[in-house]
Structures are given as C-alpha cells and as structure tokens.
Amino acid sequence: MTLKIIVMMKQVPDAEEIFIDPVTYTLNRTAARGVINIPDENALEIALQIKDKVGAEVTVISMGPPQAEEAIIECMGRGADRGILITDRAFAAADTYATSLTLAATIDKIGKYDIILAGESTTDSGTGHVGPGVAEFLDIDQVTYAESAEVVDDKIRVKRILEDADEVVEVPFPVLVTVLTGANIPRRATLRRKIDAIKKGIERWDHETLGLPPDWIGIRGSPTIVGAVKVPEEKKRASKKISLEQIPEMIDELFEKGIIKREDGA
Amino acid sequence: MSKLINCVPPENIEEYKNVMVYVEHRNGSIVRGSLEMIGRARVIADKVNEKVICVSLGDNLSPIAEEAGTYGCDIFLGAESPEHRYFRSIPYAHKITDFIEKYKPNILLISGTREGRDLVSRIAVRVRTGVAADCVELDVEPKQRLLISWRPAFGDKTINQILCRKHRPQTVSSRPGSYPVPEKIPGRKCEVRIEKVKLDEKYLKHRIVSRKPKEKLDLTKSDIIVSGGLGLGKPDGFKLIRELADVLGGDVGASRPVVDLGWIPYDHQVGQTGQTVRAKLYVAAGISGKIQHVVGMKASETIISINNDPDAGIAKYSDYFINADLYKAIPIMIDEIKKRKKGSGGAKKSS
C-alpha cells in the first residue's frame, strides 16, 4: 500500500515587496510577487523525502486565487504527484475557522490519507492556527513545530522544537504535522516535471465541489471579523546623530539618566 | 471520520461570564506568557465585575494554583494526572473544552507560545468559536462585554481590530512579550479546585520518545540587549557584541539574517519570527532596520543604533544613531562605559 501524503500549501505575497496603501490601509497585492509560503516549502520537502525513501503519493492542495496555480505547478515540478487548487470567490475573507473547515472538507473529499504536512504558519497572516484547526475538524492527531520527520512502520517519528526543549514523538497514522521554517533545504523543480504538471493540469475545486453551503465559508462562515484597521503609532524617537567623537558624551548622558548604572549602584 | 461543522453561535450569549486563562507551566512555575495573560485577564475582569478563572493541566498543580492566585486568579481549575506531565494536543484540548462547557467563560485568553498555538485552534473548533490570533492589545467594551483585540497584519505594517460578536468564549492567542508581568500580591485569596483524572489509553499512542530540555535564552526578561546583524560582516563579529553586552551586564540579540546564516543560535533572534523584547536599553549594531526586526524591539525604552550607512532605516527607530563603523564605535563605547562603571568619579566629563 502506497503511503498517501497531503501537503497544504499557501501562495503568499513576497514579504519584501508588500506595501500598504496609506489611505485605505489595504494591502497592495498587485505589487507583490506570489511565492510559496516558506515553511510550506519545508513541509513539501519532508513529503518528498518520505516519497524518495519509502514511496508515497504526494498531493498538494492550496486555497487561493486562480494565480496560486503557478505555486502548485512549482510544487509538482519538485516532485508532487497531484495538485488541487481550492478557489472560489465565496472563500474570501475566511478566518482561521472557515479556512480550516474548507481545507478539512477538501482533504475529506480526497479521501484516504496517512500524513498531512503543512508549514507551521504563513508569512502573510502568521497565526499558526490553521494546521491544528484542520486536524481537529478531521479528528486526527497532530504534531506541531517539526524540524524533521521520518516514517517508521505505520507511524511517523518527528523531532519537534519547543521553546525550552527538543522533543521526539511517535504518532500512528493518520496524523497532521506542521513544519518549521528552515527545517531542510528544499529541492529545486525540474523543467521536465513542470511541463508534465502543466500537461496533467491542476484540479480546481469550489464550494460546490466540496459540498459546503455558502454560509459555512468565507466571511459568512467566519466567527471573527476585522472591525477596524489602524497604522501602528510609532513612538517618535530623537534619532540623535552621534559621531565617534561624541560617543563619550552619549555615554555620559546614559549614566546620568540611569539607563546604564555604575557598579556601586549610583 | 470527520466532523465538519460550521461555526454555529450559541443561543444565549448572556450566559457566558468571566475571563478564563489557560495556564502553561514548566518545572513548577508558570511561564511568562501565561502570567501576562493572568494580568490582562484581571484588568478586563475588573472592568466588567467578573472573575478570573485559570485552567491548567499537569502532574502536580498545587504550586501552580498558588502562584496563579498571587498574580490575580480568583478560581483555579486543575486536572491532575501523571500522564499530564507532558503536553499532548488531543487530551489537553478535550479537558480544556470540558472546563469551557461547564463554566461558560465569556473570554478565553491563551498565550501564543508554541504550546498555546498548538492548543488554541483545536479548542476553538471544538467549542465552535473564533480566535483572534497573535494579538498585541486587548481590551473590553464593558456594556456588551465585547472583547476588543488588536493583531498586527502584513508584517506589522497595520494593526487590525478583531471582534467575535456572536460566538463564545471570545478566544484570543496573544503574542508573548506584549504585556508586562503583573505585580504579585502574596496571600491573595484564590479558590482552588484540582481534580484527579485518568488519561484514556488511546491517547498514549502519541508517544513522547524523548525530551531534551535546553537552556534557552529568554530575551523577553532582559533589561539590556546588544544585537548584531549582517553589518558585522563575519560570524566573529559577535565576539565584540558579546563584549559590549558583558560590560553593560546585558544579553546578546541578533537579527534574522545572521541566525539564518548560522552565525548565532535562533534563541538570540529578535523580531517577527523571533522574540519580542522590551529592554530598558537596546543596542542594534549593523542592523539595517527591516520591519521584521523592528517589530521585535521597538517597545524598548532607549534604543541606540550603530550603522555606517547614513540612510539606514534603523535610524528613525533610534534615540541615538551612531553613524560610524561599528568596529570603531563599539570599542570606544566599551572603554567609556568601563571607565564610568567603576564609579571612581569618572562618570563626569572625561576624555
């Protein structure tokens, strides 16, 4: 029996290229290039390493606008076998609940799976909440913040990195694993595989394919809303320019203000 | 077997009262993030005349309950089991959900540590509510007891107000380091209810093979931090950074690029994907001032930056901007600080 792995991937605007319209406070997405969310690349790489070692069928799913297709092609170019784009205007403005529900419904429709992999958070919204939300909807176990993972019989063995400890856990299938940024070095896509992927095509599913009522998804299915947006108030700083010669003076000031303290506490 | 279900709101949200906090602990004491949440819960509960309820799981909870009480908890609910010694997502989420269903809190605060983020959305899906994720400001509108949460978006370029009007509890995961630790009040009264529970065998299939504790640098507690960035030019540059930090009695921080390059371990990283610090003095050496770094240090009281680029973005976030080669500036700083530290009268105008 071939292992079945699903990788949840999101196309995000390149963080370096994001800019905010100063009047409307909205994200100017047209200016930013779409890239694969960084830890999702690491999640895909773990899936492909498992495929190399023990054999697996790797399906990449992504929820997003039609142009997210190029990110799925890139994943298939690296070695994923199947790509599904979950795209529908009705999914817009989904919060973590509605997003998790939509992804879980997609996985449910795919049917059989052993391992679900995803990046631990996205660089554009960064909640880290969608992975565990999907696991809860699917009623399966989860392992978060993985640095590496390998298949041992019918279990996955994961090294996870926590604030105060490194943990190794073993969990039977099916299981969802979220992967840390920098967990590995993702392989490059080959042109031949990319062409194959384009020929094969990407499946496109909408809310009807998934059998999700419109009031379960997008903004209507989201318990949280964005009430207002503000630009953070920056504390005005003096930005006092100091030359090498003025450093002693600056240090004096820091002592006088008590920012640096003398050894005798004065 | 899945249980896909939409987020059906409860019928009578007036029934939901009090502010619940999930308390995470290590080696017999509450982690900083949870202390911040107890402090914030106290402020919110006082505004609407409600109680602070702390919930926690573990193998020995009495010291945790006592500590929670001194920080502002009114009712402590614990579930004790030898198998609760280590966190496991599913049994933890189930037990916290039981507490929520029994006590019906209006608000649930969870610090967004790795454990907290692992847990919070499982709980929210189980009880069918929304999560305001990664929040940095929390307040309550007293009339409707509506929680007003603010979360940074788009690399912290804007802050979005998140509301959860119809679902309860209004659940939040808060960015650790966003709030100060509250004052301790020894002997404060707190009602403690700790029950013994038995973990279902099936959860033990999630086997913790090994757990290696590590010394982790907690910069959120540091008063003085000296950070280095790409401008150091070489990994060795951190020796000079360390020297300045030592003279100041502070810790060493770093920006993300140098951590990615392996010049210094991740636990030194300050910024969006590292730690959020609020130092009394923060020195940024050879750091250009990308927003991803700035969001992690801008809450510091006094900021000094050192950069040889006169147009470095870091300047506008600095009280003092030393526009010079850091390899020249830092040795001068070290000398001048050493002279005055001794307290031999050298603190007045010298050199």
* HEC string for chain A: CCEEEEEEECEEECHHHCCECCCCCCECCCCCCEEECHHHHHHHHHHHHHHHHHCEEEEEEEECCHHHHHHHHHHHHHCCCEEEEECCHHHCCCCHHHHHHHHHHHHHHHCCCCEEEEECCCCCCCCCCHHHHHHHHHCCEEEEEEEEEEEECCEEEEEEECCCEEEEEEEECCEEEEECCCCCCCCCCCHHHHHHHHHHCCEEECHHHHCCCHHHCHHHHCCCEEEEEECCCCCCCCCEEECHHHHHHHHHHHHHCCCCCCCCCC
**Residue B93: pLDDT band with limits 50, 70, 90:** very high
Q: Cβ contact (<8 Å) for B4 and A128? A: no
Residue A97, domain member (yes or no): yes
d(CA B116, nearest CA chain A) in Å: 10
pLDDT at B170: 98
pLDDT at B218: 86
Least confident of A18-27, B49-58, B132-141: A18-27
Whether A262 and chain B come into contact, CB under 8 Å, resolves to: yes
What is the C-alpha to C-alpha distance for residues B100 and A259, in angstroms, rounded to an integer?
45
Give contacts of A221 with chain B, Cβ < 8 Å. Answer: 6-7
Give contacts of B141 with chain A, Cβ < 8 Å. Answer: none
Of the candidates B130, B248, B343, which has its C-beta nearest A223's C-beta?
Answer: B130
Q: Cβ contact (<8 Å) for A130 and B121? A: yes
Residue A107, domain member (yes or no): yes
d(CA B280, nearest CA chain A) in Å: 7
Residue A56, domain member (yes or no): yes
Q: Cβ contact (<8 Å) for A229 and B212? A: no
Question: Among A103, A116, A163, which would you mutate to test the B interface (most chain B Cβ atoms within 10 Å of its Cβ)?
Answer: A163
What average pLDDT does the segment B137-166 reach?
90
Residue A244, domain member (yes or no): no
Whether pLDDT at B345 is above 60: no
Of the candidates A164, A234, A239, which has its C-beta nearest B213's C-beta?
Answer: A164
Nearest-CA neighbor of B301 among B277, B325, B324, B266? B277
Q: Which residue of A has its CA nearest to B208?
A: A169
Least confident of A79-83, B194-198, B240-244, B271-275: B271-275
pLDDT at B155: 65
Whether A44 and chain B come into contact, CB under 8 Å, resolves to: no
d(CA B49, nearest CA chain A) in Å: 25
Supply the ipTM of this predicted assembly.
0.88
pLDDT at A116: 98
Q: Cβ contact (<8 Å) for B157 and A18? A: yes
Give contacts of B153 with chain A, Cβ < 8 Å. Answer: 125, 229
pLDDT at A1: 79
Q: Say if strands B25-26 and B29-30 run parallel, antiparallel, or are unpaired.
A: antiparallel
d(CA B255, nearest CA chain A) in Å: 15
Whole domain around residue A63: which residue ranges?
3-216
What average pLDDT does the segment B304-332 reach?
95
Residue A246, domain member (yes or no): no
Residue A147, domain member (yes or no): yes
Residue A262, domain member (yes or no): no
The size of the A-B interface in CB pairs under 8 A is: 271
Whether pLDDT at B49 is above 70: yes
Question: Among B266, B316, B319, which would you mutate to test the A interface (most chain A Cβ atoms within 10 Å of its Cβ)?
Answer: B319
Query: How many domains does chain A divide into?
Result: 1
In this structure, what CATH number is given to the domain that contains residue A14? 3.40.50.620
Cα→Cα distances A143→A119, A158, A178, A182, Å: 12, 8, 6, 17
What average pLDDT does the segment B29-47 reach?
96
Please say whether the beta carbons of B158 and B182 come within 8 A. Answer: no
Question: Is residue B124 helix, strand or coil?
Answer: helix
Whether pLDDT at B199 is above 60: yes
Angle between helix A130-138 and A96-110 (nearest 10): 50
Residue A254, domain member (yes or no): no
Q: Which residues of chain A have pLDDT under 50?
A: none
Task: Report how far Cα B320 is from the mean position of its chain's Cα atoms.
Answer: 27
Of the candidates B214, B318, B329, which has its C-beta nearest A237's C-beta?
Answer: B318
Q: Cβ contact (<8 Å) for B160 and A226? A: yes
Whether pLDDT at B347 is above 50: no
